[in-house]
Amino acid sequence: MEIDARFRYYFQHPWSRLIVAYLVTFFNFLIFAEDPISHSQTEAHMIVVGNCFSFLFNKYPGLGWNILKVICWILAVITGLVAGKFIFHRQLFGRYLRLKMFREDHGSWMTMFFSTILFLFIFSHIYNLFLLMAGSMEPHMVTEYMGIRNESFMKIAAVGTWMGDFVTAWMVTDMMLQDQHYPDWGKAARRFWKQGNNRIVLFWTVLISLTSVVVLVISTDWISWDNLNRGFLPSDEVSRAFLASFILVFDLLIVMQDWEFPHFMGDLDMNLPGMSTTHVKVRLPVCKSIFKEEYHIHITGKWFNYGIIFLVLILDLNMWKNQIFYKPYEYGQYVGPGEKIYTVEEPETLQNFNHSTLTYEWRSTNIDPATNVSYVERDMFLHSRYIGTSLDVKCLAFIPSLAAFVLFGFFIWLFGRFQDSETFTENQDKTYERIKRKSPSEYSKEMGATPEEMHVTMSDSLKRSGTPMLLSVDGPHFGATPSTNSTISMETQETHPSIVVDGAAQDEPAVSFDVQKLSP
């Protein structure tokens, strides 16, 4: 038990979390620079997401077919939102799997997003059936090909992963400097971070300035990675496959290193990055004559932070797949001397290329009559290598990421579920109703007792009644004291008591620990 607690102390230490978060950002830049697909002029394709993109944005046949296509994807979006909320989130994750992180309405928007992608994919095939029945409509059928070049798509993906990874790393930094789980870490930085609006100004200043530079560099090709590193430690398909695999591992580590993983039932929400609030709530305009209630979009800090990671995970999974199954010919590329990769850049050549003409031997010995130089001189030279490793060896890159996914699911299944011995209130509107209790100070005012006496009375009464002690009211943990400079108001701390697991009152393994006692 002591070894396990000490491991958690270092595994979830602020320095460990910051290193992992910023390494992911660096690795995503590195694989974008080394990936030969980033320079390919062939049409981009992506499983499932490519179908959704093509379904929504291109390959419209015209006339009445456009109306049919729009109706199909509108129905897909509505079906995905409804199924995501009531089937996947409420029934599957809530009542059947009993996952704590999906209690009440937590995580419903991310669930609805992924279910919408699923139903867009399904309805795209239904739309294709109508085209097949009409006949001679094959060019307009929805496929995984997106209608844009790989070079353009990879630039968009690079900007997207930069935004996702850096915002996540910056949010992790923000959480480390707001929280008090490790009171001896970064005292001076925390004081500065919590003074006035320092954290808000710094967050937006750094994010906007760095994002502007990154977008400018990626979109304009002002900096060429091959000219910059000049072939220093060139990558091959095996090293790129393992790099993509470890990016997936680090994505999951960011979530697993959270102090409240895997249940995410913390006592206080961190303020959202760049904001002075713990959540975002948007009131939807409704017709009161039709709807009796007001509906709000409510996004809490945890799902705002880690929801971005799961979106980036889609692009990282696609990168992982590309590196393992990469073959130069499929992307309009070929291998030259030293196993270096060449990219064909002329669109007219790519329209009619074949295995015999897309080789270094043919393109170096044949002359282009328009320029009177060999074809190879017009192609882009890359320092990235392709050594022709068998698929069996490249599939070894599955092991690290597969192990991370298994551990991720195992910890959620073991520690992140409401056990059968735990009772919870359920109603028609919410899967799990939050256990509401007054703070010790409120009870003491009403009952005339001290907070300490009231805490003991509450615990004893619950134990005598046989109620499982899922939540208990406790004082500040880890030696943390409320800071006068904290961005979280004292009112918020009053109405959100600390949440700990009472191991003596239930069989569920304890998931909280005292860092102060373990500090070396």
Is the N-terminal amide bond of 262 cis, ω within 30° of 0? yes
CA dihedral 95, 97, 98, 101 (to 10 degrees): -120
Q: How do strand 295-300 and strand 279-284 relate by DSSP bridges? A: antiparallel
Quickly list DSSP for 76-99. HHHHHHHHIIIIIIIIIIIIIS-B
State residue 300's pLDDT score: 60
State residue 285's pLDDT score: 60
> pTM value?
0.73
Taking Cα atoms as reference points, which of 231, 467, 453 lies closest to residue 340? Answer: 231
Other CB atoms within 10 Å distance of the CB of residue 413: 12
Quickly list DSSP for 196-259. TTHHHHHHHHHHHHHHHHHHHHHHH--S-HHHHHTTSS---HHHHHHHHHHHHHHHHHHHHTST
Within 8 A by CB and 6+ apart from 420, the residues are none
Whether the CB-CB separation of 153 and 146 falls below 8 Å is answered with yes
Ramachandran angles phi, psi of 330, nearest 5°: -70, -15
Separation of alpha carbons 29 and 158, rounded Å: 7
State residue 274's pLDDT score: 66
State residue 459's pLDDT score: 45
State residue 417's pLDDT score: 82
State residue 130's pLDDT score: 94
Give the tens place of pLDDT for each residue, 194-208.
888 888 888 889 888
Separation of alpha carbons 397 and 418, rounded Å: 34
Q: Which residues of 480-500 are buried (b: 16+ CB within 10 A; e: fewer)?
A: beeeeebbbeeeebeeebbbb
Ramachandran quadrant class, 486 (left: phi over 0; alpha: psi -120 to 50; beta: rest): beta
- DSSP at 510: P
Taking Cα atoms as reference points, which of 325, 328, 349, 352 lies closest to residue 339? Answer: 328
**What is the maximum alpha-carbon separation in the chain?**
98
Q: Which DSSP helix (H) or strand (E) runs through 341?
A: strand 340-343
* Angle between helices 237-256 and 301-324 in degrees, nearest 10: 160
State residue 98's pLDDT score: 86
State residue 102's pLDDT score: 85
- DSSP at 44: E
Beta bridge partners of residue 342, listed in sequence order:
334, 381
Other CB atoms within 10 Å distance of the CB of residue 111: 22
Give the tens place of pLDDT for each residue, 120-170.
999 999 999 999 998 888 889 999 999 999 999 999 998 888 888 888 888
Taking Cα atoms as reference points, which of 270, 263, 281 lies closest to residue 471? Answer: 263
Low-confidence stretches of the chain (pLDDT beneath 50): 267-268, 292, 425-459, 461-520
